[in-house]
Amino acid sequence: MDDVIAAVATPPGKGGVAIVRVSGQGALAVAEKMFTPAGKTKVACFAPYRLYPGRIDCGGFADFGLCVYFKAPHSFTGEDVVEFHCHGGTEIARGALLRTLACGARLAERGEFTKRAFLNGKLSLASAEGLADMINGESEAEVRAGSMLYAERLSAAVRAAQAQLTELLAGIDADMDFPEEDIEHTDLFTAKEHIRALAASLEELTRSYGTGKKIGSGVSVVLAGRPNTGKSSVLNALLGSDRAIVSAQAGTTRDAVEGSIEIGGVRFDLCDTAGLRAGADALEREGVERARRRIEGADLVLFVLDASQPMSEEDKEAYAALEGKKMLVVHNKTDLRADACELPADVRVSALTGENIPLLKQKMFDACMSGYNTDALFVTQERHYAALSRALALLREAEGLCGSVPPDLWGVPLREAWEALGEITGETANERIIDEIFSKFCVGK
Ligand code: GDP
């Protein structure tokens, strides 16, 4: 981390302002070479956190902008940081960036600023992940969950658990070191209670992943039913009202998603199975298979029926195929006749008139997010969930061993649980994991 890194910190394109960020010991020296202050204060004498106007040398041309200096360790990365605020043209920012490289900086890698912040102890690994979630978040709930991670809410809970483990381990070590001395030996009963309580608190955190996962990756909803019940129309009515999320993540696993909406701040990804019915030809069979897989992976199925008609054989078949799935029975076309269908409805709507579409949304939210409390801490990332689950299993193992084998033996799973928890904050995370996390950031963050 001895070298100076530089990148354009603002997104590419035209805008009011673009920021070129430089970090590392020697960042100020880079500024000295390419920034000419308009005022009397020389770059070397810049007071931290103050914006100085002046001329930014961009190689073949110059821009008039601002320069700010963040003195180590009180900067985002923990190192000396300099930012040039130039006018927001792609070529202007590029010119300023190339100039920083000519003045001794090198191009930063993806997420390298945040990685340095982590390595310098400015934030935990989980906090850095929260920052990425905030930046990539597409719904209010995603950003809020990201901001909680960023603010070290999960890390604090994890560190508290680690502190308790350390205490238990210290007790065991004292027993092992001075077995015959008359000091207070680890009281087995208390230790076991302690482990049990700790396991219970970790279990509560792991349980929050059920809801947290949906916050992090969206609630997947599939509309199912025989053709012509109005699935596409219901889907469009859902998408048409209020705010539809335009996803920037094309070509991902959300290929099949027709559109996303925000309900109560949470993203719901909607997917239709229109036109996919059991047919003879291979193409249709492939379609049916795909629909089945989507239904299997969905958090919720909206089973759409035509309220103006009794259930047909085809309806019954479609219904039977959904057995065991979390489902809302939606009667559509209530503008025609609302009571012909014999299967009890969870909600009756008319996609045509829009009647009860808000109620349908409310029911969707209640079905998937009941008990969602915006202030509560949720585990939203699989990596954290996996580490917590491993720690929990190890605590259970220690609890089982406690009392039946010597303390140093039940201390082993306790120590491993400590390490599993450390992967969340980053203390014990290996380089591969760390690199993987920061490679998901963009250049300049
Ligand atoms: P899908 O095959 O299940 O996707 O059904 P569509 O959305 O294509 O709708 C089938 C037919 O039902 C179309 O002619 C729609 O205009 C009509 N339709 C859909 N929803 C309603 C509704 O709420 N009321 C009435 N009257 N017609 C509807």
In a shared domain, residues 277 and 390: no
**Would you say residue 258 lies in a domain?**
yes
What is the distance between the alpha carbons of residues 395 and 200, in angstroms, rounded to a whole number? 10
In sequence order, what are the residues at sequence separation of 6 or more whose Cβ sits closer than 8 angstroms to the Cβ of residue 138?
218, 245, 247, 248, 260, 267
In a shared domain, residues 255 and 330: yes
Q: Given the CA of residue 235, which atom of ligand 1 is nearest to it?
A: 7
Nearest CA to ligand 1 atom 10: 228
In a shared domain, residues 189 and 259: no
In a shared domain, residues 345 and 394: no
What angle, 0 to 180 degrees and rounded to 10, lies between the N-to-C axes of helices 209-217 and 140-150? 120
User: From ligand 1's centre to the CA of 306, what distance in Å?
Assistant: 9
**Would you say residue 119 lies in a domain?**
no
If you average pLDDT over residues 78-82, what whole number do you get? Answer: 98
In a shared domain, residues 247 and 308: yes
CATH number, domain containing residue 347? 3.40.50.300
Residue 348 pairs in a beta bridge with: 331
In a shared domain, residues 167 and 68: no
If you average pLDDT over residues 246-257, what whole number do you get? Answer: 44
- pLDDT tens per residue, range 345-365: 999 999 999 999 999 999 999
Closest CA to 173 of 422, 410, 433: 410
In a shared domain, residues 433 and 388: yes
- pLDDT tens per residue, range 365-402: 999 998 888 888 999 999 999 999 999 999 999 999 98
User: From ligand 1's centre to the CA of 229, what distance in Å?
Assistant: 6
pTM assigned to the model: 0.82
**Would you say residue 164 lies in a domain?**
yes
Residue that is last in its domain, among 368, 397, 418? 368
In a shared domain, residues 350 and 314: yes
CATH number, domain containing residue 39? 3.30.1360.120
pLDDT at 252 over 90: no
Ligand 1 pocket, 85 CB below 6 A? Answer: no
Torsion of CA 327, 245, 139, 8, to 10 degrees: 150
- Look at residue 94 in the predicted model and tell me its pLDDT: 96
- Look at residue 311 in the predicted model and tell me its pLDDT: 95
Question: Domain count of the chain?
Answer: 3
In a shared domain, residues 231 and 166: no
What is the percent of the chain with per-residue pLDDT over 90, rounded to a whole number?
Answer: 71
- Look at residue 249 in the predicted model and tell me its pLDDT: 43
- Look at residue 373 in the predicted model and tell me its pLDDT: 86
**Would you say residue 214 lies in a domain?**
no
pLDDT at 276 over 60: no
What is the distance between the alpha carbons of residues 410 and 417, in angstroms, rounded to a whole number? 11
In a shared domain, residues 245 and 364: yes
Residue that is last in its domain, among 368, 387, 402? 368
For residue 274, the enclosing domain spans 219-368
What mean pLDDT, rounded, does the chain reach? Answer: 89
Nearest CA to ligand 1 atom 19: 230
Q: Are 78 and 120 in contact (CB under 8 A)?
A: yes
In a shared domain, residues 167 and 91: no
Ligand 1 pocket, 104 CB below 6 A? Answer: no
- Look at residue 254 in the predicted model and tell me its pLDDT: 42
In a shared domain, residues 401 and 284: no
Q: Are 138 and 260 in contact (CB under 8 A)?
A: yes
Mode of pairing for the β-strands spanning 327-332 and 259-263: unpaired
CATH number, domain containing residue 157? 1.20.120.430
Based on the number of CB atoms within 10 Å of its own CB, is 5 exposed (0-12), middle (13-18) or buried (19 or more)? buried
Ligand 1 pocket, 356 CB below 6 A? Answer: no
Pick from 16-25, 146-155, 222-231: least confident: 222-231
**Would you say residue 120 lies in a domain?**
no
Q: Given the CA of residue 353, which atom of ligand 1 is nearest to it?
A: 23
Residue that is last in its domain, among 343, 368, 393? 368
**Would you say residue 295 lies in a domain?**
yes
